[in-house]
Amino acid sequence: MVVLAKPAALEQISLLRTPEPWETLSGVPAVDLSGPDAAGHVVRACERLGFFSVVNHGVPAGVVDRLEAEAVRFFASAQADKDASGPADPFGYGSKRIGRNGDMGWLEYLLLAIDRDALSDSMACPAASSALREAINEYVVAMRWLARTVLEMVAEGLGVSPRGALADMVTGDDAASDQVFRLNHYPPCPLPLPPSCSVTGFGEHTDPQLVSILRSNGAAGLQVALHDDGGRWVSVPPNRDAFFVNVGDSLQVLTNGRLKSVRHRVVAGSGLKSRVSMIYFGGPPLAQRIAPLPQLLQAGHGSLPLYREFTWGEYKKAAYRSRLGDNRLAPFEEP
């Protein structure tokens, strides 16, 4: 973080020193879902980075394009209309404020609860047109399927049985899973920034859930921290055709730390094009117990559990009391 005088609208948003240009992550692991040994590739990417892209995913381009167009339309609507669906607590329309504990970013967003395979009825959201709601519902069905496929591959690649052991926590038939959907809009920062500085769009954090699936309009800004290189930040080259998958904290715990949740953030700059992203967060039911899977402890991936058991509800509650950048797993680590 840089301590320099900032224009008033940026006052509470941290600035990042920009090593020009940000180093780009060469070789984001790209998993071809229809290719041989996809499960092995998924597991290796989750172990190394906690992050990978998915190609040949079979999600129709129209489903993504429709949602992107509706999201752009929503964010372009009058501020007073958007504000009528806010402030986000945690759901609804939010601008600059993230969570409840003072985190700020240069973005606006819509955060929504998903019931099974559609927007929750509890999401009043007057500013969301019926076209936007329909586009979200159609998109979420595709994301549930993709999350299921990825989690089945994780189980297969790790030798966990049944194959649906992890997937059922998020997409099982009876599971009242805790799915969240987020549309983010990062406008270019129009204010003068100090030299070599970018503004924080969404501050660094890990996602608390099992998996998150991210898609963007192809604008730059996403960065990930490399586990195997002291947490060095690298930019992720945008790819309009791929989905990006993040390992979340809960999957790290279930796999006893073998798969790593990835720290990531979004930076915004004055020159960057406006970024729109759509993110599906796959969480389990609130009562779901999260603890290292016995099968993995027995399989010699470290015989001692690194984390104590908690329920997703407990973890979520703790997450909402934390700051974005906190290490939320630390209090659950076994001594």
Binding site for ligand GA4 (CB under 6 A): 90, 98-99, 101, 103, 111, 180, 182, 205, 207-208, 281, 319-320, 322, 324
Contacts for 136 with CB less than 8 Å, ≥ 6 apart: 67, 70, 112, 119, 128, 181
DSSP-assigned letter for residue 331: G
Minimal CB distance residue for ligand GA4? 99
Quick one: CA torsion of 175, 137, 52, 60, rounded to 10 degrees?
A: 130
Q: CB of 20: closest distance to ligand GA4 in angstroms?
A: 28
Backbone angles phi, psi at 128, to 5 degrees: -80, 115
Q: Residue 283 Cβ, how far from ligand GA4 at the closest point, in Å?
A: 7
Nearer to ligand GA4, 244 or 281 (CB): 281
- Pick the closer one to ligand GA4 by CB: 99 or 157: 99
Nearer to ligand GA4, 41 or 82 (CB): 82
The least CB distance from residue 102 to ligand GA4, in Å, is 9
Residue 86: strand, helix, or coil: coil
Burial 163-175 (b: 16+ CB within 10 A, else e): eebbbbbbbeeeb
Judge contact between 282 and 179, C-beta under 8 A.
yes
Q: Is 8 or 330 the residue whose CB approaches ligand GA4 more closely?
A: 330
Closer of 53 and 261 to ligand GA4 (Cβ): 261
Q: Supply the DSSP string of 127-170, one letter for each residue.
A: TS-HHHHHHHHHHHHHHHHHHHHHHHHHHHHHT-SSTTTTHHHH
- Nearest-approach distance from CB 277 to ligand GA4, in angstroms: 10
30-32/51-55 β-pairing: parallel
Q: Which is nearer to ligand GA4, 166 or 183 (CB)?
A: 183
3-state secondary structure of 252: helix
d(CA 261, CA 246): 7
To ligand GA4, the closest distance from the beta carbon of 35 in angstroms equals 29
Min dist CB 27 to ligand GA4, Å, is 25
Nearest approach, Cβ of residue 328 and ligand GA4 (Å): 7
Q: Which is nearer to ligand GA4, 41 or 264 (CB)?
A: 264
